[in-house]
Chains A and B, each alone.
Chain A
Amino acid sequence: MTNTGNKDTRSGFGAGLYEIGKKDPRVVALCADLIGSLKMEAFAEAFPQRFFQCGIAEANMMGTAAGLAVTGKIPFVGTFAEFATGRVYDQVRQSICYSQTNVKIAASHAGITLGEDGATHQTMEDIALMRAMPHMTVINPCDYNQTRLATMAAAEWKGPVYLRFGRPSVPNFTPADGPYEIGKAWLMEPGEDVTILATGHLVWEALEAVKILGAKGIKAELINIHTIKPLDMQAIIDSARKTGAVVTAEEHLVAGGLGELVAGVLARHCPVPMRMVAMEDGFGQSGTPAELMNVYGLNAANIVAKVCELR
Protein backbone atom coordinates (compact mmCIF):
# COMPACT_ATOMS: atom_id res chain seq x y z
CA MET A 1 0.00 0.00 0.00
CA THR A 2 1.44 3.37 -0.97
CA ASN A 3 0.85 6.94 0.10
CA THR A 4 -1.25 8.71 -2.53
CA GLY A 5 -0.56 12.11 -0.94
CA ASN A 6 -0.76 13.48 2.57
CA LYS A 7 -4.18 14.55 3.85
CA ASP A 8 -5.71 15.18 7.26
CA THR A 9 -8.20 12.65 8.63
CA ARG A 10 -10.54 15.45 9.74
CA SER A 11 -11.05 16.35 6.08
CA GLY A 12 -12.10 12.75 5.53
CA PHE A 13 -14.76 13.31 8.17
CA GLY A 14 -15.92 16.54 6.49
CA ALA A 15 -16.18 14.82 3.13
CA GLY A 16 -18.01 11.81 4.56
CA LEU A 17 -20.44 13.99 6.49
CA TYR A 18 -21.31 16.00 3.40
CA GLU A 19 -21.81 12.85 1.32
CA ILE A 20 -24.03 11.10 3.85
CA GLY A 21 -25.90 14.36 4.44
CA LYS A 22 -26.74 14.50 0.75
CA LYS A 23 -27.97 10.93 0.80
CA ASP A 24 -29.91 10.82 4.08
CA PRO A 25 -32.12 13.74 5.18
CA ARG A 26 -32.14 12.41 8.75
CA VAL A 27 -28.49 13.39 9.14
CA VAL A 28 -28.04 16.64 11.09
CA ALA A 29 -24.86 18.20 12.45
CA LEU A 30 -23.90 20.32 15.45
CA CYS A 31 -20.66 22.10 16.18
CA ALA A 32 -19.26 24.03 19.16
CA ASP A 33 -17.54 26.96 17.44
CA LEU A 34 -15.10 24.78 15.49
CA ILE A 35 -16.67 24.44 12.05
CA GLY A 36 -13.40 25.17 10.24
CA SER A 37 -11.31 22.91 12.45
CA LEU A 38 -13.78 20.03 12.03
CA LYS A 39 -14.11 20.62 8.25
CA MET A 40 -17.89 20.88 8.58
CA GLU A 41 -18.24 23.87 6.21
CA ALA A 42 -19.53 21.86 3.25
CA PHE A 43 -22.35 20.31 5.29
CA ALA A 44 -23.21 23.58 7.05
CA GLU A 45 -23.44 25.48 3.76
CA ALA A 46 -25.36 22.81 1.87
CA PHE A 47 -27.86 22.00 4.63
CA PRO A 48 -28.36 25.11 6.80
CA GLN A 49 -31.70 23.79 8.13
CA ARG A 50 -29.95 20.69 9.41
CA PHE A 51 -26.90 22.37 10.91
CA PHE A 52 -26.76 23.91 14.39
CA GLN A 53 -24.01 26.19 15.63
CA CYS A 54 -23.98 25.57 19.38
CA GLY A 55 -21.32 28.03 20.48
CA ILE A 56 -18.74 27.15 23.12
CA ALA A 57 -21.16 25.01 25.14
CA GLU A 58 -20.33 21.36 24.61
CA ALA A 59 -22.52 19.95 27.38
CA ASN A 60 -25.60 21.55 25.87
CA MET A 61 -24.54 20.38 22.41
CA MET A 62 -24.40 16.74 23.56
CA GLY A 63 -27.86 17.00 25.14
CA THR A 64 -29.33 18.76 22.12
CA ALA A 65 -27.96 16.01 19.91
CA ALA A 66 -29.63 13.44 22.16
CA GLY A 67 -32.96 15.22 21.73
CA LEU A 68 -32.56 15.32 17.96
CA ALA A 69 -31.73 11.60 17.99
CA VAL A 70 -34.73 10.62 20.13
CA THR A 71 -36.97 12.18 17.53
CA GLY A 72 -35.43 10.22 14.65
CA LYS A 73 -32.54 12.36 13.44
CA ILE A 74 -28.97 11.13 13.06
CA PRO A 75 -26.91 13.86 14.69
CA PHE A 76 -23.14 14.27 14.29
CA VAL A 77 -21.63 16.48 16.98
CA GLY A 78 -18.24 17.94 16.14
CA THR A 79 -15.62 19.27 18.52
CA PHE A 80 -12.09 18.47 19.72
CA ALA A 81 -11.65 15.02 21.23
CA GLU A 82 -10.87 16.42 24.69
CA PHE A 83 -14.10 18.44 24.74
CA ALA A 84 -16.07 15.56 23.23
CA THR A 85 -15.09 13.21 26.06
CA GLY A 86 -13.57 14.55 29.26
CA ARG A 87 -15.57 17.76 29.33
CA VAL A 88 -18.92 16.06 28.74
CA TYR A 89 -18.46 12.56 30.11
CA ASP A 90 -21.66 12.66 32.16
CA GLN A 91 -23.77 14.07 29.29
CA VAL A 92 -22.47 11.35 26.99
CA ARG A 93 -23.12 8.76 29.67
CA GLN A 94 -26.69 9.69 30.64
CA SER A 95 -28.25 11.48 27.66
CA ILE A 96 -26.52 9.43 24.95
CA CYS A 97 -25.34 5.98 26.08
CA TYR A 98 -27.73 5.15 28.93
CA SER A 99 -30.56 6.74 26.94
CA GLN A 100 -29.47 4.78 23.84
CA THR A 101 -29.76 7.81 21.58
CA ASN A 102 -28.32 7.50 18.09
CA VAL A 103 -25.69 10.24 18.42
CA LYS A 104 -22.41 10.22 16.49
CA ILE A 105 -19.60 12.00 18.30
CA ALA A 106 -17.05 13.33 15.82
CA ALA A 107 -13.87 13.95 17.79
CA SER A 108 -11.12 15.75 15.96
CA HIS A 109 -7.61 16.76 17.06
CA ALA A 110 -7.30 13.53 19.05
CA GLY A 111 -3.98 12.45 20.44
CA ILE A 112 -0.53 13.96 20.63
CA THR A 113 -0.49 14.99 16.95
CA LEU A 114 -2.66 17.97 17.77
CA GLY A 115 0.83 19.34 18.36
CA GLU A 116 1.65 22.89 19.28
CA ASP A 117 -1.47 23.64 21.37
CA GLY A 118 -0.03 21.43 24.10
CA ALA A 119 -1.40 19.10 26.73
CA THR A 120 -4.63 20.99 27.52
CA HIS A 121 -5.90 19.99 24.09
CA GLN A 122 -4.04 16.70 23.55
CA THR A 123 -6.31 14.01 24.89
CA MET A 124 -4.45 10.72 25.16
CA GLU A 125 -7.09 9.05 27.35
CA ASP A 126 -10.24 9.41 25.25
CA ILE A 127 -10.29 5.82 23.99
CA ALA A 128 -10.14 4.59 27.59
CA LEU A 129 -13.03 6.83 28.58
CA MET A 130 -15.24 5.99 25.63
CA ARG A 131 -14.60 2.27 25.50
CA ALA A 132 -15.60 1.98 29.17
CA MET A 133 -19.03 3.38 28.33
CA PRO A 134 -21.78 0.75 27.83
CA HIS A 135 -23.53 0.92 24.41
CA MET A 136 -20.72 3.01 22.89
CA THR A 137 -19.02 2.05 19.62
CA VAL A 138 -15.45 3.38 19.31
CA ILE A 139 -13.85 3.94 15.90
CA ASN A 140 -10.32 5.20 15.25
CA PRO A 141 -9.63 5.27 11.49
CA CYS A 142 -6.13 5.54 10.06
CA ASP A 143 -6.22 7.96 7.14
CA TYR A 144 -8.39 10.30 5.08
CA ASN A 145 -10.06 7.58 3.03
CA GLN A 146 -10.83 5.36 6.00
CA THR A 147 -12.19 8.29 8.02
CA ARG A 148 -14.51 9.23 5.17
CA LEU A 149 -15.83 5.67 4.93
CA ALA A 150 -16.08 5.34 8.71
CA THR A 151 -18.15 8.53 8.90
CA MET A 152 -20.66 7.20 6.41
CA ALA A 153 -20.71 3.80 8.12
CA ALA A 154 -21.30 5.48 11.49
CA ALA A 155 -24.41 7.18 10.13
CA GLU A 156 -25.81 3.82 9.10
CA TRP A 157 -24.78 2.10 12.35
CA LYS A 158 -27.48 1.93 15.01
CA GLY A 159 -26.47 3.47 18.33
CA PRO A 160 -23.95 5.90 19.78
CA VAL A 161 -20.57 6.12 18.05
CA TYR A 162 -17.33 7.78 19.09
CA LEU A 163 -15.42 8.58 15.90
CA ARG A 164 -11.85 9.68 16.61
CA PHE A 165 -9.61 11.43 14.11
CA GLY A 166 -6.86 13.99 13.96
CA ARG A 167 -5.49 17.32 12.84
CA PRO A 168 -2.22 16.74 10.95
CA SER A 169 -1.67 15.92 7.33
CA VAL A 170 -0.65 12.27 7.21
CA PRO A 171 -0.24 9.65 4.48
CA ASN A 172 -3.45 8.65 2.71
CA PHE A 173 -2.85 5.07 1.69
CA THR A 174 -6.01 2.96 1.98
CA PRO A 175 -8.22 2.56 -1.10
CA ALA A 176 -11.02 5.13 -1.45
CA ASP A 177 -13.56 2.30 -1.63
CA GLY A 178 -12.35 0.42 1.43
CA PRO A 179 -13.09 -2.25 2.51
CA TYR A 180 -14.73 -0.74 5.57
CA GLU A 181 -16.98 -2.51 8.01
CA ILE A 182 -17.47 -1.40 11.62
CA GLY A 183 -16.27 -4.10 14.01
CA LYS A 184 -14.35 -6.07 11.40
CA ALA A 185 -10.57 -5.85 11.69
CA TRP A 186 -8.71 -5.47 8.40
CA LEU A 187 -5.79 -7.75 7.66
CA MET A 188 -3.53 -5.44 5.67
CA GLU A 189 -0.32 -7.49 5.50
CA PRO A 190 -0.29 -11.24 6.08
CA GLY A 191 2.69 -12.66 7.95
CA GLU A 192 3.69 -15.47 10.26
CA ASP A 193 6.37 -14.32 12.70
CA VAL A 194 4.64 -11.61 14.70
CA THR A 195 1.27 -9.84 14.77
CA ILE A 196 1.15 -6.04 14.75
CA LEU A 197 -2.20 -4.57 15.76
CA ALA A 198 -2.30 -0.88 14.93
CA THR A 199 -4.96 1.80 15.12
CA GLY A 200 -5.31 5.39 13.87
CA HIS A 201 -2.22 7.29 12.79
CA LEU A 202 -0.03 4.38 13.90
CA VAL A 203 -1.24 2.16 11.07
CA TRP A 204 1.01 3.95 8.58
CA GLU A 205 3.93 3.68 11.01
CA ALA A 206 3.18 -0.03 11.33
CA LEU A 207 3.21 -0.44 7.55
CA GLU A 208 6.66 1.17 7.50
CA ALA A 209 7.70 -1.16 10.33
CA VAL A 210 6.54 -4.19 8.34
CA LYS A 211 8.87 -3.17 5.50
CA ILE A 212 11.83 -2.67 7.84
CA LEU A 213 11.15 -6.02 9.51
CA GLY A 214 10.82 -7.66 6.12
CA ALA A 215 14.28 -6.50 5.24
CA LYS A 216 15.50 -8.20 8.43
CA GLY A 217 13.77 -11.42 7.40
CA ILE A 218 10.89 -11.05 9.87
CA LYS A 219 7.47 -11.63 8.33
CA ALA A 220 5.08 -9.44 10.31
CA GLU A 221 1.32 -9.65 10.01
CA LEU A 222 -0.40 -6.25 10.18
CA ILE A 223 -4.02 -5.86 11.24
CA ASN A 224 -5.74 -2.49 11.14
CA ILE A 225 -7.90 -2.20 14.29
CA HIS A 226 -10.06 0.70 13.16
CA THR A 227 -12.85 -0.35 15.53
CA ILE A 228 -11.77 -0.47 19.15
CA LYS A 229 -15.26 -1.42 20.35
CA PRO A 230 -16.76 -3.81 19.44
CA LEU A 231 -13.32 -5.38 19.11
CA ASP A 232 -12.84 -8.08 16.48
CA MET A 233 -11.57 -10.57 19.06
CA GLN A 234 -11.60 -13.55 16.70
CA ALA A 235 -9.27 -11.88 14.20
CA ILE A 236 -6.85 -11.05 17.02
CA ILE A 237 -6.97 -14.52 18.59
CA ASP A 238 -6.54 -16.27 15.24
CA SER A 239 -3.53 -14.16 14.35
CA ALA A 240 -1.94 -14.48 17.80
CA ARG A 241 -2.32 -18.29 17.62
CA LYS A 242 -0.60 -18.28 14.24
CA THR A 243 2.34 -15.97 15.04
CA GLY A 244 2.73 -16.46 18.80
CA ALA A 245 3.72 -12.82 19.42
CA VAL A 246 1.82 -9.54 19.41
CA VAL A 247 2.74 -5.85 19.32
CA THR A 248 0.09 -3.15 19.58
CA ALA A 249 0.53 0.43 18.36
CA GLU A 250 -1.64 3.43 19.12
CA GLU A 251 -1.60 7.19 19.71
CA HIS A 252 -2.99 6.94 23.24
CA LEU A 253 -1.91 6.32 26.81
CA VAL A 254 -1.12 2.75 27.81
CA ALA A 255 -3.90 3.11 30.39
CA GLY A 256 -7.14 1.88 28.89
CA GLY A 257 -5.89 1.85 25.34
CA LEU A 258 -5.79 -0.76 22.58
CA GLY A 259 -2.76 -2.48 24.12
CA GLU A 260 -4.44 -3.15 27.45
CA LEU A 261 -7.60 -4.20 25.66
CA VAL A 262 -5.69 -6.73 23.55
CA ALA A 263 -3.72 -7.92 26.60
CA GLY A 264 -7.04 -8.73 28.26
CA VAL A 265 -8.24 -10.68 25.24
CA LEU A 266 -5.00 -12.62 24.95
CA ALA A 267 -4.86 -13.37 28.69
CA ARG A 268 -8.31 -14.93 28.49
CA HIS A 269 -8.06 -16.72 25.15
CA CYS A 270 -4.51 -17.11 23.90
CA PRO A 271 -1.67 -15.93 26.15
CA VAL A 272 1.37 -15.02 24.04
CA PRO A 273 4.25 -12.61 24.66
CA MET A 274 3.29 -9.04 23.75
CA ARG A 275 4.55 -5.46 23.76
CA MET A 276 2.75 -2.12 23.55
CA VAL A 277 3.68 0.96 21.59
CA ALA A 278 1.74 3.70 23.40
CA MET A 279 2.44 6.69 25.61
CA GLU A 280 3.40 6.03 29.22
CA ASP A 281 1.49 7.76 32.02
CA GLY A 282 1.81 11.52 31.70
CA PHE A 283 0.65 14.59 29.79
CA GLY A 284 2.02 15.74 26.47
CA GLN A 285 3.62 19.04 25.53
CA SER A 286 3.92 21.53 22.67
CA GLY A 287 5.85 20.54 19.57
CA THR A 288 5.29 19.55 15.97
CA PRO A 289 3.33 16.33 15.47
CA ALA A 290 6.40 14.57 14.08
CA GLU A 291 8.59 15.71 16.98
CA LEU A 292 6.05 14.55 19.52
CA MET A 293 5.51 11.16 17.89
CA ASN A 294 9.26 10.63 18.03
CA VAL A 295 9.67 11.89 21.62
CA TYR A 296 7.03 9.46 22.85
CA GLY A 297 8.11 6.60 20.64
CA LEU A 298 4.95 6.45 18.58
CA ASN A 299 6.70 5.53 15.34
CA ALA A 300 7.89 2.76 13.05
CA ALA A 301 11.30 2.56 14.70
CA ASN A 302 9.78 1.82 18.10
CA ILE A 303 7.39 -0.77 16.62
CA VAL A 304 10.42 -2.50 15.11
CA ALA A 305 12.25 -2.30 18.44
CA LYS A 306 9.32 -3.85 20.31
CA VAL A 307 9.05 -6.66 17.75
CA CYS A 308 12.75 -7.36 18.17
CA GLU A 309 12.31 -7.56 21.97
CA LEU A 310 9.96 -10.49 21.40
CA ARG A 311 12.44 -12.47 19.28
Chain B
Amino acid sequence: MQQAPYSVPDYASQIRRDIIRMVTSATSGHPGGSLSSTDFMTVLYAECLKQTPGQWSRDGRNMDMFFLSIGHISPLFYSLLARMGYFPVSELATFRKLGSRLQGHPSVENGLPGIHVASGSLGQGLSVACGAALSKQIDGDNHKVYVLLGDGESEEGQVWEAAMFAAHHKINNLIAMTDWNRQQIDGPVEKIGGVGDLCAKWKAFGWHVITCDGHHYDEIRQAYAKANEPQEGPVMILMHTNMGQGVDFMFDSHKWHGKAPSAEQEKQALAQLKETIGDY
Protein backbone atom coordinates (compact mmCIF):
# COMPACT_ATOMS: atom_id res chain seq x y z
CA MET B 1 0.00 0.00 0.00
CA GLN B 2 1.27 3.46 -0.89
CA GLN B 3 1.07 6.38 1.53
CA ALA B 4 -1.91 8.51 0.50
CA PRO B 5 -0.74 12.05 -0.40
CA TYR B 6 -3.35 13.96 1.63
CA SER B 7 -4.41 13.77 5.27
CA VAL B 8 -7.54 11.87 6.22
CA PRO B 9 -9.44 15.03 7.25
CA ASP B 10 -8.54 16.67 3.92
CA TYR B 11 -9.76 13.64 1.99
CA ALA B 12 -12.93 13.41 4.06
CA SER B 13 -13.84 17.07 3.57
CA GLN B 14 -13.26 16.89 -0.19
CA ILE B 15 -15.20 13.64 -0.46
CA ARG B 16 -18.13 15.19 1.39
CA ARG B 17 -18.07 18.07 -1.12
CA ASP B 18 -18.01 15.55 -3.97
CA ILE B 19 -21.00 13.70 -2.50
CA ILE B 20 -23.09 16.88 -2.28
CA ARG B 21 -22.09 18.04 -5.77
CA MET B 22 -22.67 14.63 -7.41
CA VAL B 23 -26.10 14.12 -5.87
CA THR B 24 -27.18 17.68 -6.65
CA SER B 25 -26.01 17.38 -10.23
CA ALA B 26 -27.81 14.07 -10.68
CA THR B 27 -30.90 15.46 -8.91
CA SER B 28 -31.13 12.09 -7.15
CA GLY B 29 -29.05 9.78 -4.99
CA HIS B 30 -28.32 9.09 -1.34
CA PRO B 31 -26.36 11.78 0.52
CA GLY B 32 -27.27 10.94 4.15
CA GLY B 33 -25.62 7.53 4.47
CA SER B 34 -22.78 8.58 2.18
CA LEU B 35 -21.92 11.32 4.68
CA SER B 36 -22.27 9.06 7.73
CA SER B 37 -19.84 6.48 6.28
CA THR B 38 -17.30 9.00 4.96
CA ASP B 39 -14.91 9.16 7.91
CA PHE B 40 -14.32 5.47 8.61
CA MET B 41 -14.32 4.60 4.92
CA THR B 42 -11.69 7.26 4.25
CA VAL B 43 -9.48 5.84 7.00
CA LEU B 44 -9.97 2.36 5.56
CA TYR B 45 -8.88 3.32 2.05
CA ALA B 46 -6.20 5.84 3.04
CA GLU B 47 -4.50 3.81 5.76
CA CYS B 48 -5.68 0.21 6.16
CA LEU B 49 -6.76 -1.50 2.98
CA LYS B 50 -3.89 -3.38 1.36
CA GLN B 51 -4.64 -2.40 -2.23
CA THR B 52 -2.76 -0.42 -4.85
CA PRO B 53 -5.23 1.51 -7.02
CA GLY B 54 -3.35 1.02 -10.32
CA GLN B 55 -2.95 -2.70 -9.68
CA TRP B 56 -6.49 -3.42 -8.55
CA SER B 57 -8.03 -6.52 -10.13
CA ARG B 58 -11.58 -7.78 -9.90
CA ASP B 59 -10.51 -11.18 -8.60
CA GLY B 60 -8.78 -9.50 -5.64
CA ARG B 61 -5.84 -11.87 -5.75
CA ASN B 62 -3.05 -11.02 -3.29
CA MET B 63 -4.77 -7.90 -2.01
CA ASP B 64 -7.39 -6.97 0.57
CA MET B 65 -10.89 -6.77 -0.86
CA PHE B 66 -13.75 -4.44 -0.03
CA PHE B 67 -17.43 -5.10 -0.74
CA LEU B 68 -20.06 -2.38 -0.41
CA SER B 69 -23.29 -4.10 0.57
CA ILE B 70 -25.21 -0.82 0.91
CA GLY B 71 -24.87 0.08 -2.75
CA HIS B 72 -26.98 3.21 -2.41
CA ILE B 73 -24.08 5.07 -0.80
CA SER B 74 -22.40 4.95 -4.20
CA PRO B 75 -21.63 8.73 -4.14
CA LEU B 76 -19.21 8.09 -1.27
CA PHE B 77 -17.80 4.94 -2.86
CA TYR B 78 -17.18 6.59 -6.24
CA SER B 79 -15.66 9.73 -4.76
CA LEU B 80 -13.42 7.69 -2.48
CA LEU B 81 -12.23 5.47 -5.33
CA ALA B 82 -11.59 8.44 -7.59
CA ARG B 83 -9.79 10.46 -4.93
CA MET B 84 -7.58 7.46 -4.11
CA GLY B 85 -6.66 7.07 -7.77
CA TYR B 86 -8.76 4.15 -9.02
CA PHE B 87 -10.19 6.21 -11.90
CA PRO B 88 -10.15 9.87 -13.01
CA VAL B 89 -11.79 12.35 -10.65
CA SER B 90 -13.41 14.06 -13.65
CA GLU B 91 -15.59 11.00 -14.12
CA LEU B 92 -17.51 11.90 -10.94
CA ALA B 93 -19.39 14.47 -13.07
CA THR B 94 -21.06 11.58 -14.93
CA PHE B 95 -22.72 10.08 -11.83
CA ARG B 96 -26.17 8.66 -12.68
CA LYS B 97 -25.99 10.07 -16.23
CA LEU B 98 -26.68 8.09 -19.39
CA GLY B 99 -23.73 5.96 -20.48
CA SER B 100 -21.76 6.48 -17.26
CA ARG B 101 -19.68 3.84 -15.50
CA LEU B 102 -20.98 5.46 -12.31
CA GLN B 103 -24.39 3.84 -12.22
CA GLY B 104 -26.92 4.84 -9.57
CA HIS B 105 -25.89 1.71 -7.70
CA PRO B 106 -22.49 0.04 -8.30
CA SER B 107 -22.26 -2.20 -11.34
CA VAL B 108 -19.48 -4.28 -12.88
CA GLU B 109 -20.90 -4.09 -16.40
CA ASN B 110 -18.56 -1.31 -17.51
CA GLY B 111 -15.51 -2.42 -15.56
CA LEU B 112 -15.22 0.43 -13.07
CA PRO B 113 -12.05 -0.27 -11.03
CA GLY B 114 -12.68 -0.94 -7.35
CA ILE B 115 -15.99 -2.76 -7.76
CA HIS B 116 -16.07 -6.55 -7.39
CA VAL B 117 -19.83 -7.11 -7.59
CA ALA B 118 -23.02 -5.15 -8.09
CA SER B 119 -24.93 -4.03 -5.01
CA GLY B 120 -28.06 -2.04 -4.37
CA SER B 121 -30.66 -4.66 -3.56
CA LEU B 122 -29.87 -4.92 0.14
CA GLY B 123 -28.70 -7.81 2.26
CA GLN B 124 -26.40 -9.54 -0.21
CA GLY B 125 -22.91 -8.17 0.38
CA LEU B 126 -22.01 -10.11 3.50
CA SER B 127 -22.69 -13.42 1.77
CA VAL B 128 -20.51 -12.42 -1.17
CA ALA B 129 -17.75 -11.34 1.20
CA CYS B 130 -17.97 -14.73 2.95
CA GLY B 131 -17.37 -16.45 -0.38
CA ALA B 132 -14.39 -14.25 -1.21
CA ALA B 133 -12.91 -14.85 2.24
CA LEU B 134 -13.32 -18.62 1.90
CA SER B 135 -11.68 -18.44 -1.50
CA LYS B 136 -8.66 -16.67 0.00
CA GLN B 137 -8.43 -19.40 2.64
CA ILE B 138 -8.38 -22.09 -0.07
CA ASP B 139 -5.64 -20.18 -1.87
CA GLY B 140 -3.56 -19.52 1.25
CA ASP B 141 -3.86 -15.78 0.59
CA ASN B 142 -3.61 -14.03 3.97
CA HIS B 143 -5.30 -10.80 2.91
CA LYS B 144 -8.53 -9.62 4.52
CA VAL B 145 -12.00 -9.19 3.11
CA TYR B 146 -13.93 -6.12 4.28
CA VAL B 147 -17.61 -5.47 3.81
CA LEU B 148 -19.84 -2.55 4.77
CA LEU B 149 -23.45 -3.05 5.87
CA GLY B 150 -26.09 -0.63 7.06
CA ASP B 151 -28.14 -0.82 10.23
CA GLY B 152 -31.37 -0.53 8.28
CA GLU B 153 -30.07 -3.16 5.88
CA SER B 154 -29.77 -5.51 8.83
CA GLU B 155 -33.52 -5.96 8.66
CA GLU B 156 -32.87 -8.25 5.67
CA GLY B 157 -32.96 -11.95 6.59
CA GLN B 158 -30.02 -12.84 4.35
CA VAL B 159 -27.71 -10.78 6.58
CA TRP B 160 -28.39 -13.18 9.44
CA GLU B 161 -28.05 -16.25 7.24
CA ALA B 162 -24.60 -14.96 6.38
CA ALA B 163 -23.88 -14.06 10.02
CA MET B 164 -24.60 -17.65 11.07
CA PHE B 165 -22.63 -19.08 8.15
CA ALA B 166 -19.50 -16.97 8.76
CA ALA B 167 -19.37 -17.86 12.45
CA HIS B 168 -20.10 -21.54 11.81
CA HIS B 169 -17.29 -21.77 9.26
CA LYS B 170 -14.98 -19.65 11.47
CA ILE B 171 -14.20 -17.26 8.64
CA ASN B 172 -11.44 -15.36 10.42
CA ASN B 173 -10.24 -13.26 7.48
CA LEU B 174 -13.53 -11.37 7.27
CA ILE B 175 -14.02 -7.88 8.74
CA ALA B 176 -17.53 -6.47 8.49
CA MET B 177 -18.54 -2.96 9.41
CA THR B 178 -22.02 -1.61 10.07
CA ASP B 179 -22.74 2.07 9.56
CA TRP B 180 -25.01 2.47 12.58
CA ASN B 181 -26.51 5.85 11.71
CA ARG B 182 -29.92 4.96 13.16
CA GLN B 183 -31.90 6.23 10.17
CA GLN B 184 -33.58 4.59 7.20
CA ILE B 185 -35.82 5.94 4.43
CA ASP B 186 -39.09 5.99 6.30
CA GLY B 187 -37.75 7.16 9.67
CA PRO B 188 -35.56 6.21 12.62
CA VAL B 189 -34.49 2.54 12.42
CA GLU B 190 -35.93 1.80 15.85
CA LYS B 191 -39.35 3.01 14.74
CA ILE B 192 -39.32 1.22 11.39
CA GLY B 193 -37.63 -2.14 11.72
CA GLY B 194 -36.58 -2.51 15.32
CA VAL B 195 -33.05 -3.68 14.64
CA GLY B 196 -32.41 -3.36 18.39
CA ASP B 197 -29.12 -4.10 20.10
CA LEU B 198 -26.83 -4.91 17.20
CA CYS B 199 -23.92 -5.47 19.56
CA ALA B 200 -25.74 -8.21 21.48
CA LYS B 201 -27.13 -9.67 18.26
CA TRP B 202 -23.75 -10.04 16.51
CA LYS B 203 -22.18 -11.44 19.67
CA ALA B 204 -25.03 -13.94 19.98
CA PHE B 205 -24.34 -14.98 16.37
CA GLY B 206 -20.76 -15.84 17.38
CA TRP B 207 -18.92 -12.78 16.05
CA HIS B 208 -16.14 -10.81 17.66
CA VAL B 209 -17.68 -7.35 18.01
CA ILE B 210 -15.85 -4.01 18.21
CA THR B 211 -17.70 -0.73 18.72
CA CYS B 212 -16.35 2.58 17.65
CA ASP B 213 -17.20 6.26 17.14
CA GLY B 214 -17.33 6.24 13.37
CA HIS B 215 -16.41 9.91 13.14
CA HIS B 216 -13.40 9.82 15.49
CA TYR B 217 -10.28 9.09 13.42
CA ASP B 218 -8.13 7.66 16.19
CA GLU B 219 -10.91 5.41 17.46
CA ILE B 220 -11.47 4.23 13.88
CA ARG B 221 -7.76 3.45 13.48
CA GLN B 222 -7.73 1.52 16.74
CA ALA B 223 -10.82 -0.43 15.70
CA TYR B 224 -9.23 -1.49 12.39
CA ALA B 225 -6.01 -2.42 14.18
CA LYS B 226 -7.92 -4.55 16.66
CA ALA B 227 -9.96 -6.16 13.90
CA ASN B 228 -6.74 -7.14 12.14
CA GLU B 229 -5.36 -9.01 15.16
CA PRO B 230 -5.58 -12.79 14.80
CA GLN B 231 -9.15 -13.95 15.44
CA GLU B 232 -10.88 -17.30 15.65
CA GLY B 233 -13.82 -16.11 13.60
CA PRO B 234 -15.37 -13.13 11.84
CA VAL B 235 -15.22 -9.57 13.19
CA MET B 236 -17.95 -6.94 13.17
CA ILE B 237 -17.08 -3.28 13.78
CA LEU B 238 -20.17 -1.33 14.74
CA MET B 239 -19.55 2.23 13.64
CA HIS B 240 -21.65 4.71 15.63
CA THR B 241 -22.32 7.51 13.17
CA ASN B 242 -24.77 10.25 12.29
CA MET B 243 -26.80 10.39 9.10
CA GLY B 244 -25.78 13.48 7.13
CA GLN B 245 -22.63 14.13 9.23
CA GLY B 246 -20.91 17.37 8.16
CA VAL B 247 -23.97 19.20 6.82
CA ASP B 248 -26.11 20.78 9.53
CA PHE B 249 -29.50 20.57 7.86
CA MET B 250 -28.98 16.90 6.94
CA PHE B 251 -27.63 15.91 10.36
CA ASP B 252 -29.36 12.94 11.99
CA SER B 253 -32.37 13.17 9.69
CA HIS B 254 -33.88 10.26 7.73
CA LYS B 255 -35.26 12.84 5.30
CA TRP B 256 -31.83 13.00 3.66
CA HIS B 257 -31.44 9.26 3.17
CA GLY B 258 -32.33 9.41 -0.49
CA LYS B 259 -32.97 12.98 -1.56
CA ALA B 260 -30.91 15.45 -3.58
CA PRO B 261 -30.39 19.01 -2.33
CA SER B 262 -31.72 21.95 -4.32
CA ALA B 263 -29.19 24.40 -5.80
CA GLU B 264 -29.68 26.68 -2.80
CA GLN B 265 -29.25 23.80 -0.35
CA GLU B 266 -26.13 22.71 -2.21
CA LYS B 267 -24.64 26.17 -1.64
CA GLN B 268 -25.48 26.00 2.06
CA ALA B 269 -23.92 22.54 2.37
CA LEU B 270 -20.74 23.38 0.47
CA ALA B 271 -20.25 26.46 2.63
CA GLN B 272 -19.79 24.05 5.55
CA LEU B 273 -17.29 21.77 3.76
CA LYS B 274 -13.78 23.01 3.02
CA GLU B 275 -12.44 22.48 -0.50
CA THR B 276 -9.14 20.80 0.36
CA ILE B 277 -7.91 18.92 -2.68
CA GLY B 278 -9.91 20.71 -5.35
CA ASP B 279 -13.39 20.13 -6.75
CA TYR B 280 -13.72 17.89 -9.81
Contact = CB atoms under 8 A, between A and B. Distances in A.
Interface string B105-138: 0011100000011111101111111111111101
A57 B132 contact: no
A96 to B, nearest CB: 9
Contacts of B120: 94
Interface stretch (B11-19, B58-66, B211-219): B58-66
Interface string A38-60: 00000000000110101101011
B203 interface: no
A68 interface: yes
B128 A63 contact: yes
A190 interface: no
Interface residues of B, number: 39
B161 interface: yes
Nearest to A96: B117
Nearest to B58: A70
Interface stretch (B37-45, B163-171, B222-230, B272-280): B163-171
Interface residues of A, number: 32
B127 A59 contact: yes
Contacts of B117: 66-67, 70, 95, 99, 101
Contacts of B130: 60, 63-64, 67
A215 B131 CA distance: 56
A64 B127 CA distance: 5
B190 to A, nearest CB: 25
A148 interface: no
Where chain A touches its partner, the secondary structure class is helix
B158 interface: yes
Nearest to A88: B158
Best-surrounded residue of B116, B131, B136, B139 (most CB of chain A within 10 A): B131
Contact of A60 (B65, B119, B136, B165): B165
Interface in A76-127: 90-91, 93-95, 98-101
A70 B60 contact: yes
B158 A60 contact: yes
B157 interface: yes
Interface of A: 28, 49-50, 52, 54-55, 57, 59-73, 75, 90-91, 93-95, 98-101
23 contacts: A55-B168, A57-B161, A59-B161, A61-B127, A63-B128, A63-B130, A64-B130, A64-B134, A66-B128, A67-B117, A67-B129, A68-B134, A70-B58, A71-B60, A71-B61, A71-B131, A71-B136, A73-B135, A94-B118, A98-B108, A99-B108, A99-B117, A100-B109
Top 6 A-B pairs ranked by shortest CB distance? A67-B131, A63-B127, A60-B161, A71-B135, A57-B161, A64-B131
